[in-house]
Amino acid sequence: MSSTVQERKDFESTNTMKAVMGKYFTELCHGPAQGKKTAWCTSVGPAELLRALGFNVYFPENHGAMLGASRMATDLIPLANARGFSPDICSYLTSDIGSYLKGESPIQKMKLPGPPKADVLVFNTNQCRDVKDWFQFYAREWNVPCIGIHTPRAIGEVDEAMVNYVAGQIEALVEPLEHVAGTKLDRDRLSEVIGLSRQCTVLWKEVLETAAHVPSPITFFDGTIQMGPAVVLRGTQEAIDYYRLLLAELKERIAQGVAAVPGERFRIYWEGMPIWGKLKSLSTQFAELATCVVASTYCNSWIFEDLDPADPFRSMARAYSSIFICRSDDRKEAYIEEMSAKYRVDGILYHDAKTCPNNSNCRYELPQRIHKKTGKPFLILHGDLNDLRLFSEEQSRTNIEAFIEQLAQG
């Protein structure tokens, strides 16, 4: 079948993205030598506050994804296991700590020294407890502060009491962060960064929404690569400029009828974490099956429309407490239903990532409930974000083929 599949076209914008990301990593790694203080930040932590204080901002989860995508993770995880971190916990955490213990990082392939040491580590437990445990390891290693926000989990409505509770915690970070940064927070600069972050979010959302078009000009697999600037450069003009360029290319594709998966027959929603070391083979298999994975919860997790430059702390609290991962199952169900309708999907794929129960949403009957309401077939794929020992390629290929066959039979 593969011999008849038309070649998928890369985005022309991707070269610009590589340059933007390369510049980010170069500045990040050289920052400390130029006297910049480095703050490590969880992916949905208060990055705007750190940027406004002039920190070099580094996101270890992005490094975790790079360890997965480069397939370095599987060999590094056992080093963290030997140190006392269970093979059952977050494989971003174990592969990143393994990378530190071995002194090997994919960043070195860019001829850079590797992740910069932290002067302060700032977490938000909105996604899981693992991020705090992960950051505390480095805080002990380097004897630096580890501070953060404890966001409640399984949130139903993000009400005023919740926003005030979380906003108070973010505001309480200002003083200790000023102490590390050696400077006072400029509130106007914070509002400016929040404005830039919001613009980035709006553009990233527009990029993802082009996939509602039939045929879709972009796949989930493209999205996992294209999201880089939204993750590590939100709050900067570079990210905004990049998404304007990418959006223009996507609109052009739509105008010319260019499909991301030539001959698109089926459209799928991906729920859960990517399988970083298998993006290419999965993308190829879906293309061979003329199936486009059009949307995902994961790529949509970096949309923070609630950010408001006029109300920095409360709007950060609202935006960061509204993300899918920290919501109740009722909210998650409603969200997936809404997304499946918006993107006109034929079926839903749930990735049950062994080491990330926090972002595996198929363990408490949610797929069955959504199926009952929407009638959309679903598939549960067992694997992991980074630990490829937990993923059976053969089994998954067979299951995906059978699933698409089921869709074909309508």
Q: How many angstroms separate the CA atoms of 94 and 390, rounded?
A: 14
Query: What does the DSSP 8-state code read for residue 276?
Result: G
Binding to ligand SF4 by residue 127, rule CB under 6 A? yes
Q: Exactly one of 130, 306, 352, 387 binds ligand SF4 (CB under 6 A); which one?
A: 130
Of 79, 128, 162, 326, the one binding ligand SF4 (CB under 6 A) is 128
Q: Length of the chain in residues, anyone?
A: 410
From the list 108, 284, 358, 392, which residue makes contact with ligand SF4 (rule: CB under 6 A)?
Answer: 358
Residue 131 within binding range of ligand SF4, rule CB under 6 A:
yes
CB 146 within 8 A of CB 121: yes
Listed ranges 123-131, 146-154, 176-184, 285-293: which one lies at the site for ligand SF4 (CB under 6 A): 123-131
- Whether 232 and 302 have beta carbons less than 8 Å apart is answered as no
How many residues bind to ligand SF4 according to rule CB under 6 A?
12
Scanning residues 246 to 305, which ones bind ligand SF4 (CB under 6 A)? Answer: 273
Q: Is the distance from CB of 52 to CB of 190 less than 8 angstroms?
A: yes
Helix axes 130-142, 60-69, angle to 10 degrees: 100
Q: Which of 44, 90, 193, 317 binds ligand SF4 (CB under 6 A)?
A: 90
Footprint of ligand SF4 on 195-214 (CB under 6 A): none
Smallest separation, CB 242 to ligand SF4 (Å): 24
User: Cis before residue 106, ω within 30 degrees of 0?
Assistant: no
Q: In the bound complex, what is the minimum distance in angstroms from residue 273's beta carbon to ligand SF4? A: 6
289 or 323: CB nearest ligand SF4: 323
DSSP symbol at 155: B
Q: How many CA atoms lie within 13 A of 384 on its CB side?
A: 24
* CA nearest neighbour of 275 among 395, 369, 170, 183: 395
**Shortest gap between Cβ of 351 and ligand SF4 (angstroms)?**
11
Q: Which of residues 376-395 bind ligand SF4 (CB under 6 A)?
A: 385
Contact 55, 147 (CB under 8 A): no
Nearer to ligand SF4, 96 or 346 (CB): 96
Q: Do 58 and 118 meet the contact criterion of CB atoms below 8 Å apart? A: yes
Q: Residues 201, 285, 359, 361: which binds ligand SF4 (CB under 6 A)? A: 359
d(CA 43, CA 130): 12
Closer CB to ligand SF4, residue 48 or residue 61?
61
Q: Judged by CB, which is closer to ligand SF4: 24, or 92?
A: 92
Q: Which residues bind ligand SF4 (CB under 6 A)?
A: 61, 90, 92, 127-128, 130-131, 273, 356, 358-359, 385
